[in-house]
Amino acid sequence: MPSPDDIFGSNANGLPSVRFDGASNDGPRRDIILERCYRNSRPVLVTAHALGFGIYREAQGQSETGLIQMFDHPQLWEEIGYKRKDGELKEGSHVTLYRPEDTSPKFLEDHSDIDDLIQFIPFDSEEEQAEWLTQAIKKNLANDELLHDDIVVINPDPLTTREKVGPVRQRLLKIGINSHLAGVNTDPDIFFGQGDSVTFTGVFRAKGNEAGMIYIVNAQACHSAAWNLARIRNQLFTAITRSKAWIRVLGVGNDMKELIKEYERLKEQNFELKFIYPTQEQREQLQIVHRDMTTEERKRIQSRQRNLVDLVTDLESGSVRAADLDESMVAKLKELLEKA
């Protein structure tokens, strides 16, 4: 988010119009953190946080942690409704966090089993995923007493949504179930309200909206990425937290199976978050590794990678010899790689 200075501007004296630091204790409150969550059940919200932050993600390569991102200020976990069960909320410490009933009321957990509230379902192909989803929506409308507006299908990648949800919408139409793609088949400001029609959407347009039954398709795209992984995991977090009751996370292939492993580890811990709070140095490294990149930055990296692949191939084939390369540049490259 932009800073308060950017949002609220400055007064005639050049001072911020709104400040949250140093506010007087005897004056009106300037900000309120809503720690109690009524929309998402405890398991759904904790699942979203666990996957969004990579709490139970396996460390990749030479990384010391599987974490993808983390709050700079540990106390934020308590401010959004978590409590410490074990350990300490400080850098380098083991900590176990849970959501008590006063911040996550159990009305949904008392109504439905967790295995009914949350399901992760892997498929071997997108066709298999599309057919399963078609039959699931049909059952929701015919047998589960859900209305069309109770169902939302979210594709996490907004750039591929029209293409990816097309086969499902065609299947639904063949069995007499109407659907619409929010903001494409409808006015940009219209999400629901299309009569007997199921809503399909990309994750960005899903923000601010919610439904009883949320289906997330192609969730495998949120498991890993060469860049922008924090943003991609945030998309998964947003999609999961659209659910007022049930969530079905669907995906294809090995990346989906790896995502399911993260969820299963969370479930084994009874939906508690256990991790080592990263140090400032580790958080800075996470921000570097998983940072958002511009299109220009990505093209530059891809170009350099292609050049590196060509060099390695030429060295292996003997068409280029190590002696042909500048010794100082080779030494510098070796030094940089050892530091990486």
Q: Is the pLDDT of residue 334 over 70?
A: yes
Q: Is the pLDDT of residue 96 over 70?
A: yes
H-type alpha helices, 290-325: 295-317
What's the rounded mean pLDDT across residues 185-213? 78
From CA 225, how far away is CA 267, in angstroms rounded? Answer: 24
How much is the pLDDT for 220? 96
Sequential DSSP letters for 148-209 = GGGEEEEES-TTSHHHHHHHHHHHHHHTT--EEETTTTS-TT-SS-SSS-EEEEEHHHHTT-
What's the rounded mean pLDDT across residues 131-144? 98
Q: What are phi and psi of 276, to 5 degrees?
A: -95, 125
Q: Are 165 and 217 in contact (CB under 8 A)?
A: yes
Average pLDDT over the chain, rounded to an integer:
86
Q: Of 227, 232, 224, nearest to 253 (Cα)?
A: 224
Return the residue matching tokens 């750039």.
159
From CA 202, how far away is CA 186, in angstroms rounded? Answer: 14
Q: Is the pLDDT of residue 263 over 80?
A: yes
Least confident of 107-116, 135-144, 296-305: 296-305
- Of 62-66, 111-115, 286-290, 323-327, which has the strongest mean pLDDT? 111-115
Q: Are 92 and 277 in contact (CB under 8 A)?
A: yes
Return the residue matching tokens 């007493």.
145
From CA 260, how far away is CA 249, in angstroms rounded? Answer: 9
Phi-psi region of 69 (alpha: psi -120 to 50; beta: other; left: phi over 0): beta
How much is the pLDDT for 340? 55
pLDDT tier for residue 115 given thresholds of 50, 70 and 90: very high
Residue 182: alpha-carbon gap to chain centroid: 21
Domains (ranges, CATH) in the chain?
42-284 (3.40.50.300), 296-331 (no CATH)
pLDDT in tens, 280-333: 988 888 876 555 545 565 556 556 666 767 777 777 788 877 777 777 777 777
From CA 231, how far away is CA 290, in angstroms rounded? Answer: 8
Whether pTM > 0.75 for this model: the answer is: yes
Q: Are 218 and 252 in contact (CB under 8 A)?
A: yes
Least confident of 203-212, 318-327, 331-340: 331-340
pLDDT in tens, 22-43: 555 666 777 777 778 888 999 9
Sequential DSSP letters for 196-259 = S-EEEEEHHHHTT--EEEEEE--GGGGT--SS-HHHHHHHHHHHHTTEEEEEEEEEEHHHHHHH
**Tokens representing residue 245 in the block:** 């009751």
Q: Of 47, 107, 33, nearest to 75 (Cα)?
A: 33
